[in-house]
Amino acid sequence: MAPKNKSHISVQLNCTTLIACLMATLCSACSAQQLPEPTNHPPVSQTATEPALAPTATLPPLNGTLLFEEGRYKRDEICGRIFDYTQTTYGPLTIAVAKNFTELQDPQALATQVIEHYNDLSESSPVPLGQPVTIYIIPDPKNGNCYSQNQLLFVAPDEIDSQTLINELFGAATGIHEYWVKTGLVALTLGQQPDQDRLKEWYQSTDNMDMAGLFIAWFIKDWATEEEREIAQLSAASLVEYAIETENIPPDRLSEQVNNAVRTRWLESLGVDREVTYPYDGRFAGFTYWLSSECSLSVQTDTMCFCLDRLPDQEFFDEVADAEFFIDFSYYGRKALEEYILTEAPSVKSKMSTDEISTMTVKDLGSRLGFTKADENRVFLQFSAAYYSPLHEIVHTFDWNQSLLGDSLWLTEGFAEYLGMLLPIYPQTKKHAVYEDLSGRFREEETNGEGNLSYWYSLYPDQAAAAKSWYLAQGGSMEDKESVDVRLYTDAVSFATMFRDAAGGPSNWPIGYVYKTLYPGQSRWEGQDGLELSYTQAASLVAWLCDTYTLDRVLNVYVNGAEDGLLDGKTYAELKAEWQADLKSKGQGIPIPDAP
């Protein structure tokens, strides 16, 4: 499911920009910006281990003077600073006050503030507090990238009374870190009653019912408006109260038992007769979240790490739904690809490491659509490429695909396009682009004096007409976006551009031209077979090979060197001729532009 209508996400690109954008299709590129490495201290889990429901231990009364001892914090992955501190303990709490403040601080008073908050929470919490927590009070946590994780918290003195610190303290002490559950339980514990009338008015009129899913980004300033964050806080409190009191869900089971059905009944209790159909219900279970200076939202799963920034000035990745779609599409798409390849191509099983961590970053990359550092399993994507290209780039991180790089670029890019965009095992986001091309959407500007170009595939009018005729002749549908056949249209474009290149764009410039442009002065690719193919044509040829010889046999030949590296003893030129002959035979009677 696409997060929203993407009919407007493309921007008009000049030739220079298009050249730079081609980096989205490459499997290695210029030096990458630094990303936060997965820390040795795992970030908090949204569905952490359930806390044992033992009563909170009774702590001694806070009478007299706390005893402090000296210590030093040494720079690590969680905090990039070195500082001396004085610390005290109170039950499961360890409170350390840095000694590098420009103004004199009273450690006794600061520690007392934290302890009072802890005691307020422990007295009324429906979930016992008892897990050990260490709190560092330092001048400015962001200076040095000191971000709270697990049971280790960083806070400035003026933030001790903030709702953020209270929520973090509760989560660390209970082991509950799903943000909406933690937020709701804190409100319930402190007796903060949500404004039910305001929630009723909001959910009766909003178009965004997905907000009821309460994905963590709704609580983050960079991703949601102030009003949306307030509604998220109120929703969390109201939903938690309803789930515990009406649905009889134990507090430590909220994250796993509150689903769309429960959310719908919760809305009914507010007087809102609307169904919640949050598409990611339960699909982010076990994911972990934290903040850093590099990313406004970091997400880690068992095999993928995401570094995401909301891009408010862009037409994609400007909403919470975009982040949710991207995470779901990339994570579950990769799982589907791995299962498909292991099932259909056991010959490359040894080169499919399904437990490797891949890092996916979406940031404003300027004029670039993205690139992959395959040797580090790092993918960098521009906002628009995040909708179309994550699985293409993920294919480039597979070891077997990397082994093709030095030998055949048309195979490397063809497999990335075919496996990453044309299979029915994941949402085919290119359906949108195909539908608009078939519907006759053209760019307005003139190109090389030859007229307008189709909007997505950069086809001249006669090429677009030939591609459409071929597509329809094979039974392709264009009734609506979901009915289009992306694989079939890939073949149709390849038929229509057989004797004349498409005018340009990341999908249709010849592979050799792309690499020569991106790597001027390098000659290691010159002389390779297939450099004249476009990325679309390479995908069509690879798909034809897999249909003709099976995916397993093709990969066994071109990855493992079986059959002396030749399918049926045929050269690239012979295979290409057979593939084109097949396209021609299916398109008999349809003129091919510029055919000799």
Average pLDDT on 398-412 reads: 83
What is the spatial distance between Cα 323 and Cα 217, in angstroms, rounded to a whole number? 8
Look up residue 371 and give its amino acid. F
pLDDT digits 0-9 by tens, 38-59: 333 333 333 333 444 444 555 6
37 pLDDT higher than 60 = no
Average pLDDT on 541-560 reads: 97
The pLDDT of residue 504: 62
pLDDT confidence tier of residue 450, bands split at 50, 70 and 90? low
Strands 378-381 and 358-362, how do they pair?
parallel
pLDDT confidence tier of residue 106, bands split at 50, 70 and 90? very high
pLDDT digits 0-9 by tens, 258-274: 999 999 999 999 999 99
CA dihedral 379, 537, 511, 21 (to 10 degrees): -50
Residue located via tokens 């991180």: 397
**What SS3 string covers 31-53?**
CCCCCCCCCCCCCCECCCCCCCC
Residue located via tokens 């994570």: 331
What is the spatial distance between Cα 129 and Cα 362, in angstroms, rounded to a whole number? 37
Q: Answer positive or negative: Cα dihedral of 499, 504, 508, 511.
A: positive
- Cα distances (Å, whole numbers) of residue 7 to 127, 313, 394, 418: 47, 17, 25, 23
pLDDT confidence tier of residue 353, bands split at 50, 70 and 90? confident
Close Cβ partners of 175 (under 8 Å, ≥ 6 residues apart): 48, 49, 50, 51, 131
Q: Phi first, then psi: give them for residue 256, nearest 5 degrees.
A: -95, -20
- Cα distances (Å, whole numbers) of residue 302 to 179, 211, 219, 401: 19, 25, 24, 22
The mean pLDDT of the chain is 85
Among residues 406, 376, 370, 411, the alpha carbon closest in space to that of 545 is found at: 411
What is the spatial distance between Cα 473 and Cα 132, in angstroms, rounded to a whole number? 68
Percentage of residues in the chain having pLDDT higher than 70: 86
What is the spatial distance between Cα 499 and Cα 460, in angstroms, rounded to a whole number? 13
275 pLDDT higher than 70 = yes
Average pLDDT on 424-449 reads: 84
pLDDT confidence tier of residue 165, bands split at 50, 70 and 90? very high
Lowest mean pLDDT among 14-28, 65-79, 185-199, 346-360: 14-28
Element containing residue 71 per DSSP (H, E):
strand 69-73
pLDDT confidence tier of residue 349, bands split at 50, 70 and 90? very high
33 pLDDT higher than 50 = no
pLDDT confidence tier of residue 63, bands split at 50, 70 and 90? low
The pLDDT of residue 315: 76
Lowest mean pLDDT among 14-28, 187-201, 390-404, 529-543: 14-28
22 pLDDT higher than 50 = no
The pLDDT of residue 367: 63
pLDDT digits 0-9 by tens, 69-96: 999 999 988 898 999 999 999 999 999 9
Percentage of residues in the chain having pLDDT higher than 90: 64
The pLDDT of residue 35: 29
530 pLDDT higher than 60 = yes
Report whether 237 contacts 180 (CB < 8 A).
no
Average pLDDT on 366-382 reads: 81
Long-range contacts of 373-379 (CB under 8 A, 24+ apart): 373/28, 373/29, 373/32, 374/27, 374/28, 374/401, 374/402, 374/405, 375/28, 375/402, 376/32, 378/32, 378/35
In a 3-state reduction of DSSP, which class is residue 149? strand
Residue located via tokens 């501190």: 85
Close Cβ partners of 300 (under 8 Å, ≥ 6 residues apart): 38, 42, 43, 287, 288, 289, 306
489 pLDDT higher than 50 = yes
Strand partners of residue 209: none
DSSP state of 251: G
Is the pLDDT higher at 201 or at 511?
201
Residue located via tokens 């071929």: 470
412 pLDDT higher than 60 = yes
pTM of the model: 0.84
The pLDDT of residue 52: 40
The pLDDT of residue 503: 65
In a 3-state reduction of DSSP, which class is residue 378? strand
